[in-house]
Structures are given as C-alpha cells and as structure tokens.
Structure 1
Amino acid sequence: MTWIRNSQVAAALLLAAAVIGLVVANTPLGPGLDDLKHWHPTPFGGVDLSAAHWVTDGLLAVFFLVAAIELRYELTQGELADRRKALVPAIAAVGGVVAPALLFVALVPRELAGGWPIPTATDIAFALGVLAIVGKRLPVAVRALLLALAVIDDLIAIGLIAILFTTSLQVWALVAAAATVVVVWALGRAYRTRRGSWPLRIAIAAACIALWWLVLQSGVHATIAGVAAGLVLAPAPAEAARHRLEPIVNGAILPLFAFVSASVMIPQVPLGALSPIFLAIAIALPVGKLVGITLAGWLGQIALRTPKADRLGLGDLVTVALLGGIGFTVSLLMNELAHRSAEELIVDGTLGVLVGSLVAVLVGGTVTAIRSARRAPDDDDDRAARRAADDAEYSRRYDGE
C-alpha cells in the first residue's frame, strides 16, 4: 500500500472524484444523488446526520486528525519549528480572512453585507491536492506554510460558524470536550512507556471518538475534534495513527469527501438575474485571498524579523495565496448558513463560490506548475522519499505487533 501514501496519487484521486461528482450532479442522476446525500440513516447515540454530513462532519474529522499530526510535526521538528516562522502562517491566515471580507463588503449593498464570511475560507484538502499534483519541486516550506495556513484558516472559519451561525451552543458539551482533550493527551503520554499496548490504543481511539461526539453535540463543527486530538497526541501514538490512517484517508475518505462536496447542481440562472452576491464572492475569494495572504505573510516576516535566509520569497507567498483562494466546501457551507432565509441568494452564492474557486484552481495551479517547472531538483525533493522510507521502517518494526 506504499503507493497510496504518495501525495500526488492521493491528490489525483481527490481531484478526479471532485470532477466525477460535479459531472454526475449535473446529469439526470443528479436529483437521485441529492436525495441520497440528504438521506438520514437511523440515529445512533444521539447523532442524527445526513449521509453527506456523515462524510463532511464525521469522516473528514479523520483527515483533520492526520493533517494536525503533520502540522504538529512541522511545528516541532520541521519547517515551522522556529517560533518566528510558525507565527507567519497565523498572520497570513488572518490577512486571508480580513481582506476577502472587506472586499466582499465593498462590493455588495449594505443589506447583503451579512454574507461577508463566505469568501474567507480555504479548502485545505483541495488546496493541498493542487499543490501536490503540480508543485512537486517547490520548497517543502511552501507546503508547510499552506498546510499551517489552511488549518488555522479552518479553525477561524469554525469559530465564525460557532459565533455567527450557531443558534444552540451547548456549553456542557464544550466543557466535556475540553476535558476529553486532556484525557487524549494523558493517554498519549502513557503510550510512550507502553508502546504497542493494544488496550492503550483502543482507549486512545475511544477517547477520540468521544471527543468527536462531544464537539458535535456542542453545536460546533465536529472536524475541530480531529484538529485538537492531532495536536495534543504525543509523537509515538500520533505517528502510529498517521501511519495506519493515511492509506484510508488518501484512498477512501478524501475521494469520498471530494465527490460529495463537488456534487453540486449548477443553478440555471441568467447572468442578468444574478445578485451582487455572485460577483462579490467570485472576486473576493481569489483576489481577496491573494492580496490578504501575500501582504500579511510578507509584513509578518518583516515584523517578526525572520532571517532573510529563512524567509519565503514573494513568489512563494503568491503561490500559497493563490491556492488559498480555493474556498469550496466551507464557503458553500457558510453560504447556506448566511442565506438560509433567502433561497435565491443561496443559488447566487453557490455560483460565486464555484466560479471563485475554479479561478483559484486554474490561476493558482498554473502559477504553481510554472514555478515548479523552473525550479531545479534539490534536497527538498527527497523529503517525500525520506518520509516513505520512514513509513517502510515503521511497518517493519511495528506492524507485526
């Protein structure tokens, strides 16, 4: 199963599934697929989710767990181990939220300004997927920055959803979730001294599932449970989890997520009948992210006095910013939440998100491919091979336990 761990293979599966989903949704099979997405299996344990939400709120939490484990590695041993470098993605993420929001507000009448959160999100899975396919030769620091920025961006988006669109926040569940995070941390520490203990593995898995359930019950987007667990797990159990879950995430979870998220029926609306919402989102997503992330990242490196040798160049920042304009899933969710009382605005917003994200994919992918092609292979290109070798060694040592 080594091939499925390859980031380019995973990205190809992701994008292929997205294309298939979009095509199927706009054929005569579309209505049936939409009914299937909105089908609610029998509620279990107080969880009543549609089939689509089981994917986007349930399975995607596993992807966020793996992404958070990788982010923690970058923060402790990788490209972001230096605190000044680690703060740059946070500053860039804030810029990537503020600039699109301001641009959106400037382009719509005051009565429509409530939709400002829509173009502020970056879809981490699709952005990393495009980078993996066409940006193979770019410095590993570029991927580390995009990964950190996208995770922080998603945390901001989840915070916005909780503050602006959550109508029934359950404080008890949030408090219990915080306590469960501590339990996950403690079990991870215990794993260090009893590596390979199946009771501890089962306990960690059970605690992570309980954390997901509690976050879901709180009213906050459940994928934050994966981020929290991935960041607090000790290195030994975290790497064990990443090693075992990565093939499942790459080969099943991400393609299924892409298929479900992209299976959107394109509304048949004349251009002249579209509200300013459409144009505002279509512009604010790619342009706002480009301006906000690039400017904030550049100023952040200067303000933090990052050594010139460690700074990302303007071209690398622009590359990350362009890919950051791929909003898609979270932007579509925010569009539905912001306009749930106006069906016609949801239609306009959906078109705006699709067009804005498509522009970001095409422009960002083209720029990334050009920059990657012009860059000679160096030691950074061997990092994937080294990680694959580490995985092979891990398999040899631990899979027989």
Structure 2
Amino acid sequence: MSRTTRLLRSAQFPAVLLLAAAGIGLLLANLPTHDAVAGILGAHLAVPGTGLDLSVSHWVSDGLLALFFFVVALELQFELTRGDLSSVRAAIQPAIAAAGGILVPIAVYLLIAGASTGSAAGTASGWPVPTATDIAFALGVLAVFGRGLPSAVRAFLLALAILDDIVGIVFIAVLFAHGLNLGLLAVGLVAVAAFAVLSRLLRGRRSPVIAVLMVLVGLVAWGFVSASGVHATIAGVMLGLVMAPRAAGPTRHALEPWVNGLVLPLFAFAAAFVVIPRVPVGALSPAFFGILVALPVGKLVGIAAFGAVAQRIRPRGTPPAIRFPDLLATGALGGIGFTVSLLLANLAFASDAGVRDQAILAVLLGSVMALLLAAVLVSWRARAHRAAGDAADDEVDEDDVEEAWDER
C-alpha cells in the first residue's frame, strides 16, 4: 500500500484535507479570483443524447457526491447487518443519543430562526441543516486528540454518526424531492435491482466484465433517479444498500481513498465558495445564527442529555455505560456537521442565494467551533483515562481498525 493511499485511509489526513479545501474555496470567493472561479463552477457540461446538462458545481454536488453516499451506504449496510447496529440491544444507547442530537438542534434552530419570514420562503425550512454529523471530521479529531480513550467511546460515536447519516439521507430523500416522476423513478429502481443481481455474480473470471456492467447500470440508475425529481445522491445510497455484502467490503476499501482525496475536497471547495456578506452582524439572517448555535451547542446538549438518559435505562446485556464527561466530548464531536450539513444548507435555501450563502458560512463557523470545543474535551477525557489507567488495554489503534476493515 502506498504512503498516499494509507494517508487517505487514515482518520486524520482526510479531515485536514477537507478543512483546507473549504478554506481555499472561501478564500478564493472573497479575492479578485472570484469571477474566474465562479465562471468555472458555473460552466455547463452536457452529456450528449441524455438530456443531462449540469453546471460543474452541480456535477460535483449531484454526481461526485453520489459516490460518497454510495460508500456511506456500504458502511451502513455492514453496521445494520453485522456491526454495532445489528441488534436492538446494541443500537438502543446510540439511537437515543442520536435522537437528542437531532431533536435539540432542531428545537434550537427553530427557536432562533423559525419565526422569520424575511427571505423568499422564510428561514424555518433550514431546520434539517444542524442535524448532521461529519464522521470523517469527528473521527479525525478523535484520532488526533483521543489517544487513551476506551474503544467503547469510539464505537459509540461511530454508531451515533451512522444513525445521523440515516436521518440525513431520509431528510434528503423526503424533504427535497421535487416534481416527482414515478415512471422515471421506477426505471431507476429497476436499474438498482439489476445492480444488486450483478453484484452477486461478481466472482471468478467474469468479474471484470460484470464490474464494468455494474458501473454502467449504476450510472443508469443515477441518471433516472436524478431525472425523477429525487435528489441524485439517493441513487448512491440505494446502490450501496443493495450491493452483495461479499462485494461491499472490498468495494468500499477501493473507493475510500478516491472519496477522501478527491470527491469530498472538491465538494467542500465548491460548497464553501461563498462571498462573506459585508453587512452588520445584526443584518445577518436568523438562519445564520440558528445554525451557528444549533451545531456546536444544540448537538452537545442533545447528545449528552439524551445519552445520559440512555445510560440510566439501558437493559442488561448492552455495551458498557459511557461516562457523562465522555458523553460531553462525544456531543461536541457530533456538532461537526460539515459535509452533509453543507449539502442540506444548499438544498434548504436553494431558492434564496443570499440566505443559502449565510447558512453555508454558519455551517463552516459552527463546525469549526464544535471542532475546537471537541479537541479540548476529547483531550481532557483522554488524559483522564490515561491517568486512571483504564484505557491501557482498550485503546483503539488506527492500524488495527484498518486491518479489521480488510478482514470484513
């Protein structure tokens, strides 16, 4: 394995790459380079004979990002069938904490921005934005600052973030489908079913041919699902969930460096390419303040409070209890919304570019605030566990994690 590939599969480097890409996008949007870069992102690229004609920015958010959701769905499939969420007993604690990490940020956002009608469609529609957790960032912070934390804390965070992903996918599929065409969607679903069948034939000397057919069928599924009015990323989710488990692990392993090193940085760059509004703080949209508070504060409070309740009512035979200070650290990590929150901000305020840009800025600022708070809390808890000596035999090593995934 090359050093570059190893870096792109690590927990730390992809998070740094994402943050750098977003920073560069924000910087170039506010320098004299704005018009040139905006021209590139706004340029349309059509696929002859298909009716597909999207801007470069939309090819990234609707096309490349579907590959990210495909990889996410492969992980979801494993966790729901054989991993930490494969039974009610295993899932109950992170599920309750995840519920708090969704409901409380929504309540905080609506309290701040729910009554506003200043934009084209008001700002209440932005309530899904602060509900997401960026697992790449969260695990990156955990890997950098969490040496000494018991593996149970990482497993709890991973399960919670996966449940957040499920809710985010549902939001995208249900809330942001427009002009639904059931005929086109049916064709897309047939293509998804064909993809599932082909993935189960992926063996022996026929594998290269079948793999090529799967790519072609996957592209057909993406095209028809996108044309049906359902957001294009949902095609990636469906394809990942129906893939044969035997083929899912190697596929995720092969795609992970490309998603971490190319897809997500490009999306972060394009999504963060917004002009910082030159207006007084008081003139900013309520959506800005709602997201800015709901991500770092709402997530922390919701996850910690609901997580504490989950620990008290957990049935026998469930994983060991997570201490409340560790729940606070996990809640802060959950406030790093980034990738999915950026997508939700784009979708929620698609009809109002001004509010959309402010919402994106709030996602970036709120996620950075949560990241810094998480770094402090995770470092504190890691030192406490090292001092107590209760993590010596239970600490997660990144090489062990990578080897474990290879064995899947």
- The alignment's TM-score, normalised by the length of structure 2, stands at 0.82
Kept in 2, the 8 Å contact 1:99–1:288? The answer is yes
- Spell out the pairing of 1:191-206 with structure 2 (5 A cutoff): 191=202, 194=204, 197-206=207-216
Kept in 1, the 8 Å contact 2:77–2:241? The answer is yes
Equivalent residue number for residue 293 of structure 1: 303
1:80-99 deviations in Å (ceiling 9; x for gaps): 44432234444433332221
Give the Å deviation of 1:52: 1.9
Give the Å deviation of 1:168: 1.0
Kept in 1, the 8 Å contact 2:29–2:273? The answer is yes
Give the Å deviation of 1:177: 3.4
Instruction: Provide the secondary structure at the position in 2 that maps to 1:122.
Output: coil
Counterpart of 1:156 (choices 167, 172, 177) is 167
- Spell out the pairing of 1:227-242 with structure 2 (5 A cutoff): 227-242=237-252
Change (3 A) 1:221 1:293: farther
CA distance in 2, matches of 1:387, 1:156: 25
CA distance in 2, matches of 1:128, 1:293: 16
| Runs of 4+, deviation exceeding 6 Å | 390-394
* 2:256 counterpart of 1:264: no
* 2:71 counterpart of 1:66: yes
Give the Å deviation of 1:387: 4.7
**Please, what is the CA RMSD of the aligned residues?**
3.2
Equivalent residue number for residue 131 of structure 2: 120
Equivalent residue number for residue 248 of structure 1: 258
CA distance in 1, matches of 2:403, 2:25: 34
The more displaced of 57-66 and 333-342 is 333-342
* 2:36 counterpart of 1:32: yes
* 2:104 counterpart of 1:99: yes
Instruction: Provide the secondary structure at the position in 1 that maps to 2:275.
Output: coil
- Spell out the pairing of 1:183-222 with structure 2 (5 A cutoff): 183-191=194-202, 194=204, 197-222=207-232
* 2:10 counterpart of 1:3: no
Equivalent residue number for residue 120 of structure 2: none
Letter in 1 for 2:133: T
Equivalent residue number for residue 176 of structure 1: 187
Change (3 A) 1:21 1:345: closer
Kept in 1, the 8 Å contact 2:196–2:244? The answer is yes
Equivalent residue number for residue 323 of structure 2: 313
Give the Å deviation of 1:306: 5.4
Equivalent residue number for residue 364 of structure 2: 354
Kept in 1, the 8 Å contact 2:177–2:231? The answer is no
Change (3 A) 1:167 1:256: closer
CA distance in 2, matches of 1:168, 1:237: 35
1:325-347 deviations in Å (ceiling 9; x for gaps): 22334434444444455555345
Letter in 2 for 1:61: A
Instruction: Provide the secondary structure at the position in 1 that maps to 2:179.
Output: coil
CA distance in 2, matches of 1:390, 1:162: 32
Give the Å deviation of 1:33: 1.8
Instruction: Provide the secondary structure at the position in 2 that maps to 1:219.
Output: coil
Gaps of 5+ in 1: 395-401
Kept in 1, the 8 Å contact 2:26–2:272? The answer is yes
Give the Å deviation of 1:363: 1.0
CA distance in 2, matches of 1:393, 1:153: 26
Equivalent residue number for residue 47 of structure 1: 52
Kept in 2, the 8 Å contact 1:14–1:129? The answer is no
Give the Å deviation of 1:55: 1.9
Letter in 1 for 2:161: A
Equivalent residue number for residue 21 of structure 1: 25
CA distance in 2, matches of 1:181, 1:233: 9
Kept in 2, the 8 Å contact 1:11–1:132? The answer is no
Kindly, what percent of the aligned residue pairs are identical? Answer: 45
Change (3 A) 1:280 1:243: closer
Give the Å deviation of 1:356: 1.9
Equivalent residue number for residue 146 of structure 2: 135
Change (3 A) 1:148 1:347: same
Give the Å deviation of 1:248: 1.9
Kept in 1, the 8 Å contact 2:296–2:369? The answer is yes
* 2:399 counterpart of 1:385: yes
Kept in 2, the 8 Å contact 1:11–1:133? The answer is no
Change (3 A) 1:176 1:345: same
CA distance in 2, matches of 1:231, 1:142: 26
Kept in 2, the 8 Å contact 1:74–1:144? The answer is no
Gaps of 5+ in 2: 118-123
Give the Å deviation of 1:287: 1.5
Instruction: Provide the secondary structure at the position in 2 that maps to 1:190.
Output: coil
Give the Å deviation of 1:244: 2.0
Equivalent residue number for residue 121 of structure 2: none
Kept in 2, the 8 Å contact 1:15–1:129? The answer is no
CA distance in 1, matches of 2:376, 2:253: 32
Instruction: Provide the secondary structure at the position in 1 that maps to 2:54.
Output: coil
CA distance in 2, matches of 1:114, 1:254: 25
CA distance in 1, matches of 2:155, 2:222: 26
The more displaced of 110-119 and 234-243 is 110-119
Change (3 A) 1:354 1:7: closer
Kept in 2, the 8 Å contact 1:335–1:346? The answer is yes
Letter in 2 for 1:272: G
CA distance in 2, matches of 1:285, 1:393: 35
Kept in 1, the 8 Å contact 2:30–2:276? The answer is yes
Equivalent residue number for residue 397 of structure 1: none
